[in-house]
Amino acid sequence: MWDHYAATPDVPDRDGRVFANKAQQVKAELWDFFRCQEGYEARENAVADKAAKKLIKDMHYEVRVQVIVTYHMGILRVKISKTETRTMKLTRKEYLKVNIEH
């Protein structure tokens, strides 16, 4: 999954910054929220890379869960918990029926 971010060209972010690829944008935005302790700059890239990979994986998982909840509540009109969604999948057609605002 992370390889796709590294292979995808970037577009300007909300601050107008453009990076070499989406992976670089994710890591740069990570450092918008965190600071590297003085003396640890050499490890910064490895730490950012590891953290960004986990954040992306978690983000994709959470979006999948939210889409399933939204599909059931918005389209099927059935209340469902996030716990129930962990073992569920939708068809491609069902996924495409859901609009998730970002």
Residue 35 in domain: yes
Look at residue 102 in the predicted model and tell me its pLDDT.
55
Boundaries of domain holding 84:
2-96
Quick one: pLDDT band at residue 69, thresholds 50, 70, 90?
very high
What sign results for the dihedral spanned by CA atoms 67, 68, 71, 73?
negative
Residue 46 in domain: yes
Residue 41 in domain: yes
Give how many domains the chain has, as a whole number.
Answer: 1
Look at residue 74 in the predicted model and tell me its pLDDT.
93
- Give per-residue pLDDT as tens, 17-68: 999 999 888 888 888 888 888 888 778 878 888 888 888 889 889 999 999 9
Residue 102 in domain: no
Q: Which tokens in the block code for residue 38?
A: 């003085």
Look at residue 95 in the predicted model and tell me its pLDDT.
92
72: how many CB neighbours lie within 10 A of its CB?
20
